[in-house]
Amino acid sequence: MRDHIPRASIHDLTEGAAVVVLAPHPDDESLGCGALLHAAFAGHGARVICMTDGGASHPHSAEWPRERLAELRAAELDAAVKALGGTPTCVTRLGLPDGGMSGLAGRFEALAAEVARIAEEAGARVLLSPAPTDPHCDHEATAQIAEIAAKKAGLRLLYYPVWSLWHDPDFRENLSYSVEFAFDIGSARAAKAAAIAAHRSQHGQVVADDPGGFVLPEGFVKQFLDGQESYFEAAS
């Protein structure tokens, strides 16, 4: 973490109101925003909007076909939010196809309107989105929807990096932002670790008949538990 990056309080990042976090898949919310969500749930509240069903992580499993896996991942998300201090009522699932959001460009305006509606309902002033530099089609599409929604609702837009951190240490050079904030995970570390661990299917602990299925790399997970979360103010 760079020394000159300003440290942010929960008020700095949420403006003293409930916050809305867009998660392309169940687990992105815990990895990228777990400490912030923990603080928000203890204060003014938060809403997590999960964009996809998460059902494509193990496409060759006979025991866990897509629909069944999506149901499991929904339950894992509920458990993760509970570990962070929230409840399942804090979660909205849009149920979009995991790995298929880039093909839904014609629906982005309508999806953004739904995000804006939820933010207004929550009384949010800030919208959090995965960084558009994350090299995954669902993350890129979510960032596009977030930008539209923020403009519609007059929301402040902050980006949180997920796969950018792992794949490209120089991603900041390609990310359009005005300032970076560091949020200390501090006493939230145990809760964040529990939330990440709640996504058991993504840690190789559930699906046994798809050896080529997705597993979160150990080093990838570790970087989200070391010290700070990063947030980037979207350039206007």
Third-level CATH fold of 10-234: Rossmann fold (3.40.50)
pLDDT band at 1 (very low <50, low <70, confident <90, very high): very low
Mean pLDDT of the region 44-49 = 98
User: For residue range 75-105, what is the model confidence (pLDDT) as tens digits?
Assistant: 999 999 999 999 999 999 999 999 999 999 9
pLDDT band at 227 (very low <50, low <70, confident <90, very high): confident
Q: For residues 225, 196, 28 and 94, what is the CA-based torsion angle, rounded to 10 degrees?
A: -160
Using the CB atoms, write b or e for 4-40: b if 16+ within 10 Å.
eeeebebeebbeebbbbbbbbbbbbbbbbbbbbbbbb
